[in-house]
């Protein structure tokens, strides 16, 4: 097991957000964590990379409980992670190449090596030749791709995605799904993707987890999720479809 979370609890703004999350991510797999808006998916990811400290619980990364590490040790562990942030989080005053190269500056690499690795990462996300563009010149989908290039440029062992398809049209969203699948073939990172996009989840995952009311309510293969009798899971999966079947658009 390369990433194991045990009994993770966190209160924020006086409310319990995570109430005892248990989760194991297997080496090399792509695990998708599904859950409704506001259920704590981003908070969970922030704990995994140590941007938030839990009230209780353990987070084991390659055999080390990162909740027990000092800030300095945590910075070292964090180098193994690439994170694709929910809102791309690009720096507007920097070019695409400078944004993608951010994580490489901490490493002692020559200027040429940085350039080469940045170009390689941009090529992997289908943005070769966009090095000198500014974020303001890019579409939402392209910004997501730049965010992805920035996350993979350090060749991380773990890749975390926060809502990689949110805010994109369905065609662009599917193209990001394909890209996630392609990257997985090329860089072999262990990946955790949090999303509420069910189509995306089923198309990219090895296994699915469902975060509900502060706990992992389901963990298993997509076929198992599809057959689940759990009414909460079924309601989530059918969201948006059932009201339409019942003629929600035809009433009133």
Ligand X SMILES: Nc1ncnc2c1ncn2[C@@H]1O[C@H](COP(=O)(O)OP(=O)(O)OP(=O)(O)O)[C@@H](O)[C@H]1O
Q: Which residues bind Mg ion (CB under 5 A)?
A: 41-42
Q: Of 45 and 97, which CB lies nearer to ligand X in the complex structure?
A: 45
Binding of ligand X at residue 40 (CB under 6 A)? yes
Contacts of 82 (CB under 8 A, 6+ apart): 103, 150, 151, 152, 153, 154, 156, 158, 159, 160, 189
The one among 3, 35, 191, 236 contacting ligand X by CB under 6 A: 35
Cβ 162 to Mg ion, closest distance in Å?
Answer: 6
Least separation in angstroms between CB 53 and ligand X: 12
Select the binding partner of residue 37 from Mg ion, ligand X, none (C-beta < 5 to 8 A, by kind): ligand X
List the single partner that 198 binds among ligand X, Mg ion, none, CB under 5 to 8 Å by kind.
none
Site for ligand X in 140-169 (CB under 6 A): 163
CB of 74 to ligand X, least distance (A): 18
Residue 61 DSSP class: E
Q: To the nearest whole angstrom, how small is the minimum distance from the Cβ of residue 236 to Mg ion? A: 16
Enumerate helices (H) and strands (E) in the chain, giving the number of each.
Answer: 10, 10
43 binds ligand X per the rule CB under 6 A: yes
Stretch that binds ligand X, among 34-42, 121-129, 181-189, 238-246 (CB under 6 A): 34-42
Please tell me the distance from the alpha carbon of residue 240 to that of residue 238, in angstroms, as a whole number.
6
Does residue 42 bind ligand X (CB under 6 A)?
A: yes
Q: Which of 37, 112, 171, 249 binds ligand X (CB under 6 A)?
A: 37
Q: Between 34 and 118, whose beta carbon lies closer to ligand X?
A: 34
Q: Find the part of the chain contacting ligand X (CB under 6 A) among 31-39, 63-71, 122-130, 133-141.
A: 31-39
Least separation in angstroms between residue 68's CB and Mg ion is: 26
Give the containing element (helix H, strand E) for 104.
Answer: helix 96-105
Q: Which does 17 bind (CB under 5 to 8 A by kind): ligand X, Mg ion, none?
A: ligand X
Q: Does residue 47 touch ligand X according to CB under 6 A?
A: no
CB 232 within 8 Å of CB 217: yes
- Please list, in sequence order, all residues whose beta carbon lies within 8 angstroms of the beta carbon of residue 37, skipping any fewer than 6 positions away: 196
* Binding positions for ligand X, 190-249, rule CB under 6 A: 196
Q: Tell me how far apart the alpha carbons of residues 232 and 245 are, in angstroms, rounded to a whole number.
A: 19
DSSP 120-160: HHHHHTT-TT-TT--GGGS-HHHHHHHHHHHHHTT--SEEE
Distances (CA, A) of 60 to 45, 81, 95, 140, 252: 14, 14, 36, 34, 54
Instruction: Identify any residues that bridge with 59 across adjacent strands, giving them in sequence order.
Output: 5
Q: Which residues bind ligand X (CB under 6 A)?
A: 12-13, 17, 35, 37-43, 86, 163, 196
């Amino acid at each position: 097991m390369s990433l194991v979370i045990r009994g993770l609890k966190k209160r924020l703004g006086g409310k319990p957000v995570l109430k005892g999350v248990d989760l194991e991510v297997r080496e090399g797999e792509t695990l998708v964590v599904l859950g409704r808006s506001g259920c704590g998916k981003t908070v969970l990811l922030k704990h995994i990379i140590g941007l938030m400290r839990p009230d209780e619980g353990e987070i084991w990364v390659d055999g080390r409980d990162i909740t027990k590490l000092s800030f300095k040790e945590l910075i070292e562990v964090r180098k193994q992670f690439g994170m694709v942030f929910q809102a791309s989080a690009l720096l507007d005053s920097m070019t695409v190449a400078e944004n993608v190269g951010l994580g490489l500056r901490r490493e002692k690499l020559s200027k040429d090596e940085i350039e080469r690795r940045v170009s390689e990462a941009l090529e992997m996300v289908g943005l070769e030749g966009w090095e000198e563009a500014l974020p303001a010149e890019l579409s939402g989908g392209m910004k997501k791709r730049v965010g992805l290039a920035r996350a993979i440029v350090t060749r991380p062992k773990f890749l975390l995605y926060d809502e990689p398809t949110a805010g994109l049209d369905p065609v662009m969203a599917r193209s990001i799904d394909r890209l996630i699948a392609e990257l997985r073939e090329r860089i072999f990172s262990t990946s955790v993707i949090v999303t509420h996009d069910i189509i995306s989840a089923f198309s990219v995952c090895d296994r699915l987890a469902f975060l509900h009311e502060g706990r992992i309510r389901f963990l298993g293969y997509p076929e198992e999720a599809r057959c689940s009798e759990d009414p909460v899971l079924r309601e989530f999966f059918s969201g948006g479809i059932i009201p339409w079947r019942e003629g929600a658009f035809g009433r009133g």
